A and B are shown apart, each in its own frame.
Chain A
Amino acid sequence: MAEARLVPRTPLEDMARPGRYGLADGPAGVLVQERADRVLASVIARHGQGGAVAEAVRSAFSLDLPPGPRRIAARGVAFTGVGPDQWLVAAEGDARRDFVARLGAALAGRAAVADQSDGRVVLEVSGPRVLDALAKGIPVDLHPAVFTAGAAANTLVAYIGVQITRIGDALVYELMASRSLAGSLWSWLATSAAEHGLELRQPRRG
C-alpha cells in the first residue's frame, strides 16, 4: 500500500474543464489559466522583527520587501504584502525546491512561516476584455495607471475573499482565493466573462 503514489488534484480540476465558455464567436475576450505550479507560504514577522525580516529576505532572496500591498519578484520568488508585516510568498520553477523549508530557515526566529501551497486556488487572468470582466466583481480601481504592475489587493469578489495582483506590465492578473471556494470563484468569473467569451486553458501543474 505504502507504494501507492498520491495523485495531486488542483483546486479547479473538479470544477471546470478547459475550453471555451460564454460567447463562442471570435477570439476570447478573457483568458484564464489555473496556476497550480507555485509553492506558497505566509510569512508574518515576529513581534518587532519587521526590519529583521526585511534584512533576511534581502540577503536570502535579494529582494526588498514591499512595505505595502505590492508584489515584488525575482528569480522565481515573489513576495506580496498582505498586511502589516505580513506577506504571501510564492515560488515557482526551480525555486520551488524545498522552498518552505528554506524560507523557514532564512527567517528562523524572525518570522512565522506557514505553508499555504494547498490552501489557495490561483487563476491567472488576461485577455483584451480582462478589465471589463474583472470590474464585475473586483471593488478596487484596476485602472492600469492606478493599479500598476505589482499592485496587489486583498478584497472581496462576490463574497469570496480574494487576493488580486497585477503580475506584470501587461494586463495580466492573478486571482487567489481559498481552495474550497474555487468552484464559486470560477462561477463568478465565468459568468462575468461570458459576454466577452472566455477560454480556460490547461492548468499549469507543479
Chain B
Amino acid sequence: MAAIGQALRLSSGGQIDRGRALGFTFDGQPYQGFSGDTLASALVASGVRLVGRSFKYHRPRGILSAGGEEPNALVELRTGARREPNTRATLAELYDGLEATSQNRWPSLGFDVLALNGLLAPVLVAGFYYKTFMWPAGLWERLYEPMIRRAAGLGRAAAAADPDHYEKAFAFCDVLVIGSGPAGLAAALAAGRAGARVILAEEDFACGGRLLAERQEIDGRPAAQWVAAALAELGALPHVRLMPRTTVFGTFDHGTYGALERVADHLPVPPPHTVRQRSWRITAKRAVLAAGALERPLVFPGNDRPGVMLAGAVRSYLNRFAAVPGGDMVVFTCNDDGWRTAHDATAAGLRVAAVIDARPQVAARVRQDSVGRAILGGRVVGVQRGRGVHGVTIVDADGRRATIACDLLAMAGGWSPVVNLTCHLGGRPVWDEARAAFLPGPLPPGMRVAGAAAGDLTLARCLAAGAAAGAAAAEELGFKSAAARAPRADDEPAAITPLWFVAGAGKAFVDFQNDVTVSDVRLAVREGFRSVEHLKRYTTLGMATDQGKTANVNGLAILAEASGRGIAAVGTTMFRPPYSPVAIGAIAGHHRGKDFRPTRLPPSHAWAAERGAVFVETGPWLRAQWYPLPGETDWLASVSREVRATRAGAGVCDVSTLGKIDLQGRDCGAFLDRVYTGMFSTLAVGKARYGLMLREDGIVMDDGTASRLAPDHYFMTTTTANAGKVMQHLEFCHQVLWPALDVQMVSVSDQWAQFSLAGPRTRDLLQKLVDRQHDLANDAFPFMAAREITVLGGEFARLFRISFSGELAYEISIPARHGDALIRAIMAAGAEFGITPYGTEALGVMRVEKGHVAGNELNGQTTARDLGLGRMMSTRKDYIGRVAAARPAFHEADRWGFVGLRPVNPAQRLYAGAHFLPQGAPATEAYDLGYMTSVAYSPMRGQWIGLGLIARGPARIGERVIAHDPVRSGDIPVEVCHPVHFDPDGGRMHG
C-alpha cells in the first residue's frame, strides 16, 4: 500500500523537520509525517479525521485537542508484547515505523457494529445498569456481566510479559519548576540565575508550552526564538537540569514529587541498555507550578463529531505542526481567545467562514475584520455531518437559524487552570467568577503557582509571574536574585462570559470519553445525585482516562444550574494522582522477576549449588532445601536419606541465616531477663541457654539461644524469620523502655558463617578440625557449652553445643569469609564418618521428630503455655508480656495445646492444616478441636508424624481423633501422642 501523502501540511513554518520524513501506519494504512510531529499532528496533516470510537455509544470520534487532555484520539500503539492500549495520539511522538491501531470498534473503525448502541441510547442512560439485569439472579455472572464486560473497556492490553525495562531514580533540588511554558521558563531562569538548583520538568518533548502554538512575540522577536534562547541559557547553567518528556504526576508529602520520564517512547524500541521509562522521585525544597491551562469544549448538540476541535488545538496544529485540521472553519467561542484561532487560521490561508461568539459584545481589539462573518450573541445548535463535519446550524442573537458550511468547527469554551498538583494533598480550588475558572486554593507547603495555572492568562503576566515566583522561591532559600527586566510581551485580551451549554435536539456531550451528556447530568440530579461526587460516580463523568480534564468544569456548571446552586457551592470533585496515567512497569522500576526483592545467600551457597542442591525461598533467604544424589528422583528419598545419615553418623547444615546479635555491657544479663521469659543473668560464662521471647500482649514472638561469652558479653541467636523484628524489638526495649541500662547491641548476622553439625560422629569429626588444645570430651564441653576456639591451625571460631535435631550436635561459627572453606573442610574431614549435608527439609523433619516448635507453631497466635513451654515463664521477675499472658482467655482449659500426632494406620500420610474432629462427629465447626501445625515423614519411625494444637492439649494423649482435611486429603484417623516422636529421653543429645 502506498503511503498517503501529507496533503494538509503547510509548506512552511512550524516546528517540524521537513528534512526527516517518518513513515507510520494507522489501522494498517501507511502514512507519513515529520520529525517533530505527534501521531495526532501527522494524522491531521494526512487528512485523517476519524480516529476512534466512544466508550458507550461507539460514536465516531476525531482528534479534539493537541495535548495530554485528549479524550478521543486513543490508540493501541505498537504490537505484540509491546502493545500499549489507550495511548493518546496527541502525546505520542512520531517515530519511523510507528504502528497504531484504533480501538473499541468491531469489525472496523469505519463500520462498528456496536454503534447500534446509539439506537439503544434512550435506555442506556446514566446508571441504567443499577435498575436492571437483576432477574433471574443466576444470569448475572453467566450472561449480563460477561456481555457488559466485553462491551466495556477501551484498548486491549498485551497479555505477555512486558519486554522493556524500567528504572527509578532520585533527584533533589532547590526549586522544581513544573511546565516549560513562558511562566515555567521565566521561573527557571530567575531561580537558576540566582544560583538555585533547579529542575525544569516538561511533559512534552519540546519545551515552550503554549508558545510553541502561538504566533506571539517576546521582546520583539518571535516567541520561539525567546524559548530557544531561554533553553540555551538554562542549559548552560550548571545547577539547572532540563527534563523534557517528563510528567510530574503527583505531589506527595514534604516536598516529594513523582515524575515519569519517557526515555525511549519516541523510539521504535529502547536501544540496548536503555530503559523505556524512568520514574523519578524528586525531593524539592520549593516548587513552582507552571502547568498552564486547558481549554474547555463548548457543550452543544453534536459537539463530539470528528471535525469539531478545540480552538487552541487548531492553533497548535497550524502553528506548531504546520498541519491543517480543515479548510473551511467556523469558530464558536465565548471568550476573546477564540478569535485568535480565527486570525491564525486566516494567516495560515484557511477560510474562516464565521466566528460565532455567544457574547453580545466583543471588544474591537479582539474582533478584527480578517475573520469572515462575525455572529455575536449566536450559538451553534447542531452539526451537519457525513464522515466529518459538513456545516453547522446556528441560532443568532435574534433566534434565527442558519446553516453555515464548513469542515472544521473550532470551539473555545474558556481555559481551566491546571490546578491538579495543588490538590493532591487535599487542597480544593476556589471558583473565580470573573475569570470563570477554578483557581488554586490552599497550596502544598513550598509550592507556588504561576502563569495560566494560576489564572493569569496573558503572556505578559505569565512571564512576569513566572519570574517573580522563581525569584521568590530562590530567595526563600537564601539565594540572591538580581532584579532582571521582565521580557516584553502582549497583554492579549482574555475576557470571557462563560457559556455552559447550548440547549437543542441531539446529544450534547460533556464527557466525551465516557459518553456523558447533558441529559445524563440532569437525570442524576433528578434522582438525587446532587453532590458533585455523587454525580461523578453515578454518571461516570470525569472517570475516564483523561479524568475529565476537558469535561469536569462544564459538568459541574451544568449540575449547578440543574440543582439551583452556584458553581462555587457545587465545587469540584477530588483531584488525585497521577496527573496523567502512568505505566505500572515504570513505577515498579527494575523490581520485577527475580529482582522483585533482594535475595540473601548464605556463605555455603556456591558450594551447595555445585552439589546440585535444590533451593527454596525462605523469607529473604535462598536456602538449600535438599541435596539430591544421582538416581534420587523423589525429594522424599533425598530428605529421608539425609535424616538417616545424620542420625546414623554426621550431618551438616548451613544455619548462617539465624539472626545473630552481639550484646555487651554491664547490664546485659538484666536486660535479657526482661526480654526473655527465662533467667539469663544467672547463666554461667561459657554456657548457652534456650530462650523464649514474648510480645507485650503475651503471645510468643520468637525463640533462640543466648550464650554468655564473658561476664558482660552475650551472643544471641534468633530465628531466621524474625531476625529483623527481634533486633528492632530489642532496640525498642533498650532505647525506649530502659535507656539507663548499659547494653550495647549490634547485629553480627552476616559476620559469621554458622554450621550445624549433628549426629553421633560429630564429636569425632570436630576433633579433626578443632585445634588440639580445645577439649571436646563430654565433660569438658558438655551439652549447652559455648566457647571461643580455634580451628585448622589458629583460625578463630566459636563452638556451641546446641541441638535442634536431638542428636549430639554442635553449631560452629567462623568469620564468613571462611564459610565456604569450612564447609569444604567439614565435608573432607567427615568423609570417614559418612558426613551428609542436609537442607531445610531434613532440618524440619528432625525437629518434628523431636517435637520442637518452629514457625508453624510460633504463628503469632500461641502462648508459651499453648506450646508446652509454660515452665519457661519465670515467676521471679517481670518480663515483656508477662502481665498480658496472665489474661483469663490464655488459661482456659480447652485452649488448644501442643501435642504430637500419628496416623492410626501407619501407612497413611499426614497433612498440615488438617483440623481435628472427634471420631464420629459431624464435620462442623462445633466439633473443631484444633489443627495439625506441622508434619513430616519420619524415616526413623518409618511413618508420617505430626505436631498440632488441640483443645485440652496433652490431656488427650492416647486419644484418637480425625484429621479432617477436605481441601486435600480427606479424613485420616490419628492418635494424639507426646510431641517428641524420637528418642524421648534425649539420650542421644547428651551423649
Contacts and interface: CB of A to CB of B under 8 A. Distances in A.
B828 interface: yes
B748 interface: yes
Interface string B733-768: 000000011111110111111000000000000001
A148 interface: no
Interface stretch (A54-62, A66-74, A163-171, A173-181): A173-181
A93 interface: no
A118 B821 contact: no
A185 B606 CA distance: 17
A148 to B, nearest CB: 14
Contacts of A194: 273
B597 interface: yes
B402 interface: no
Contacts of B742: 46-47
A111 interface: yes
B819 to A, nearest CB: 8
B795 interface: yes
B795 A6 contact: yes
B600 A180 contact: yes
Contacts of A2: 768-769, 771-772, 792-793
Given A2-B768, A195-B273, A158 B749 contact: no
A10 interface: yes
Given A135-B169, A159-B598, A160-B598, A42 B746 contact: yes
B591 A158 contact: yes
Main secondary structure of the interface of A (DSSP, over half): loop
A94 interface: no
B719 to A, nearest CB: 16
Interface stretch (B90-98, B331-339, B810-818): B810-818
A3 B599 CA distance: 35
Contacts of B768: 1-2
B376 to A, nearest CB: 57
A112 B746 contact: yes
B642 to A, nearest CB: 23
A22 interface: yes
B283 interface: yes
Contacts of A114: 662, 664, 746, 748, 751
Contact of B749 (A11, A119, A182): A119
A6 B818 contact: yes
B940 interface: no
Interface string A1-18: 111111111110010000
A139 B281 contact: yes
Given A179-B816, A184-B598, A117 B751 contact: yes
Given A46-B742, A118-B816, A141 B283 contact: yes
Contact of B598 (A115, A181, A192): A181
Residue among A36, A180, A183 with most chain B CB within 10 A:
A180
Contact of B792 (A6, A120, A139): A6
Interface string A31-67: 0000010000010111100000000000000000000
Interface in B272-317: 272-275, 281, 283
Contact of B750 (A23, A160, A179, A183): A179
Nearest to B765: A1
Contacts of A136: 167-170
Interface residues of A, number: 56
Nearest to B168: A136
A66 to B, nearest CB: 18
Contacts of B772: 2
A36 B601 CA distance: 18
Contacts of B818: 6, 8, 118
Nearest to A10: B817
A115 to B, nearest CB: 6
Interface in A190-206: 191-192, 194-195
Residue among B283, B818, B829 with most chain A CB within 10 A:
B818
Contact of A4 (B167, B595, B656, B825): B825
B665 interface: yes
Nearest to A138: B170
Nearest to B197: A143
A188 B745 CA distance: 30
A150 interface: no
Interface in B793-831: 793, 795, 814-822, 825, 828-829
Interface in B161-175: 165, 167-172
B821 A8 contact: yes
A191 B590 contact: yes
Contacts of A178: 600, 749-750
A116 interface: yes
B273 A118 contact: no
B591 A8 contact: no
B414 interface: no
Residue among B167, B769, B822 with most chain A CB within 10 A:
B167
Nearest to B818: A6
Nearest to B283: A141
A139 B589 CA distance: 14
A7 B823 CA distance: 11
Contacts of A1: 768-769, 792, 825, 828-829
Nearest to B280: A135
B272 A23 contact: yes
B817 A9 contact: yes
Residue among A192, A194, A195 with most chain B CB within 10 A:
A195
Contacts of A10: 817
A146 B173 CA distance: 11
B605 interface: yes
B413 interface: no
A120 B749 CA distance: 10
B220 to A, nearest CB: 38
Given A14-B605, A135-B171, A195 B274 contact: yes
B602 interface: yes
B167 A180 contact: no
Contacts of B815: 115, 117-118
Contacts of B170: 135-140
A6 B165 CA distance: 42
Contacts of B749: 119, 178, 180
Contact of A44 (B273, B666, B744): B744
Contact of B748 (A4, A45, A119): A119
B599 A184 contact: yes
A188 B590 contact: yes
Contacts of B599: 181, 183-184
Contacts of A3: 792-793
B740 A47 contact: yes
B273 A22 contact: yes
Contacts of A182: 601
Interface string A102-119: 000000000110111111
Contacts of B752: 118
Given A119-B751, A191-B590, A47 B662 contact: no
Contacts of A22: 273
Contacts of A36: 817
Contacts of A140: 170
B171 A115 contact: no
A136 B273 CA distance: 14
A45 B656 CA distance: 27
A42 to B, nearest CB: 5
Interface of A: 1-11, 14, 22-23, 36, 42, 44-47, 86, 111-112, 114-120, 135-141, 143, 146, 158-160, 178-185, 187-188, 191-192, 194-195
Given A4-B828, A11-B816, A47-B741, 14 more contacts: A1-B825, A6-B821, A9-B820, A46-B664, A111-B744, A114-B662, A115-B748, A118-B751, A118-B753, A137-B170, A138-B170, A141-B283, A184-B595, A188-B590
24 contacts: A1-B829, A2-B792, A6-B822, A8-B817, A9-B606, A23-B272, A46-B665, A47-B667, A47-B741, A112-B662, A112-B744, A114-B662, A115-B748, A118-B751, A135-B169, A135-B171, A139-B170, A141-B172, A141-B283, A178-B750, A180-B600, A180-B603, A180-B749, A192-B167
